[in-house]
Structure 1
Amino acid sequence: MTDKFIIRFVAAVTIFVITVVIVLNRHLIPGPAVAPAFTPYLPMLNAVLNGTCTVLLLTSLYFIKQGNIKVHKRLNIITFCLSSLFLVSYILFHYLMRNDTLYGDANFDGVLSPAERAAAGGMRTLYLSILVPHIVLAAGVLPLILLSFYRGLQMQVEKHKKLVRWTFPIWLYVTASGVVVYLMIQPYYHF
Structure 2
Amino acid sequence: MSKEKEILDEKKYNKLIIVLSVLIPIVVAILFGVKIPNVEPLTFLPPIYASINGLTALVLVLAVLQIKKGNRATHEKLMKLAIMLSVSFLVMYVAYHMTSDSTKFEGEGAIKYVYYFILLTHILLSIIVIPFVLITYVRAITNNIEKHKKIARITFPLWLYVAITGVIVYIMISPYY
Alignment-derived partner of residue 32 in structure 1: 36
1:3, 1:74 → 2: CA distance?
21
1:114 is aligned to: none
| 1:33-72 equivalence runs, <5 A | 33-36=37-40, 39-72=42-75
Alpha-carbon offset, residue 184 of structure 1: 0.3
% same residue: 33
Q: Which residue in the other structure is 1:84 paired with?
A: 87
Distance in 1 (CA, whole Å) between partners of 2:169 and 2:157 is 18
How many residues are aligned here? 170
Return the alpha-carbon distance in structure 1 between the equivalents of residues 13 and 103 of structure 2.
39
The 1-side partners of 2:53 and 2:118 are apart by: 15
Report what 1:158 is aligned to.
146
Amino acid at match of 1:20: V
For the residues of structure 2 that align with 1:80 and 1:160, how far apart are their CA atoms?
Answer: 16
Q: Deviations over 1:53-93 (max 9, x none)?
A: 00010111111111111111111111111111111111111
Q: Secondary structure at the match of 2:108?
A: helix
Unaligned runs of 5+ in 1: 109-118
| Aligned match of 2:103 | 104
Deviation at residue 3 of structure 1 after TM alignment: 2.9
TM-score by length of 1: 0.83
Measured after TM superposition, the shift of residue 21 of structure 1 is 2.3
Deviates more, 1:173-182 or 1:124-133: 124-133
1:171 aligns with 2:170: no
CA distance in structure 2 between the aligned counterparts of 1:89 and 1:151, rounded to whole angstroms: 28
Between the aligned partners of 1:41 and 1:150, the Cα distance in structure 2 is 35
Taking structure 1 as reference, are residues 2 and 153 closer, same or farther at Cα in structure 2, changes over 3 Å only? closer
Q: Deviations over 1:37-65 (max 9, x none)?
A: 5x011111110110000001011111111
Within a 5 Å distance, the mapping from 1:112-191 to structure 2 comes to 120-189=108-177
1:116 equivalent in structure 2: none
Residue 186 of structure 1: SS of its match in structure 2? helix
Instruction: Identify the range of structure 1 (45-54 vs 153-162) with the bigger mean alpha-carbon deviation.
Output: 153-162
Letter in 1 for 2:10: D
Q: Is the 8 A contact 2:10 2:139 kept in 1?
A: no
Tell me if the contact between 2:10 and 2:142 (Cα under 8 Å) persists in the aligned partners: no
Q: 2:11 aligns with which of 4, 10, 21?
A: 4
Q: TM-score, normalised by structure 2?
A: 0.89
Point out where structure 2 has 5 or more consecutive residues left out of the alignment. Answer: 1-7
Number of the residue aligned with 2:78:
75
Could you list the per-position Cα deviations for residues 112-159 of structure 1 after superposition, in whole angstroms to 9, with x for gaps in the alignment? xxxxxxx62322111011111111100000011011112112322011
- Cα distance in 2 for partners of 1:75, 1:2 equals 23
RMSD (CA atoms): 1.6
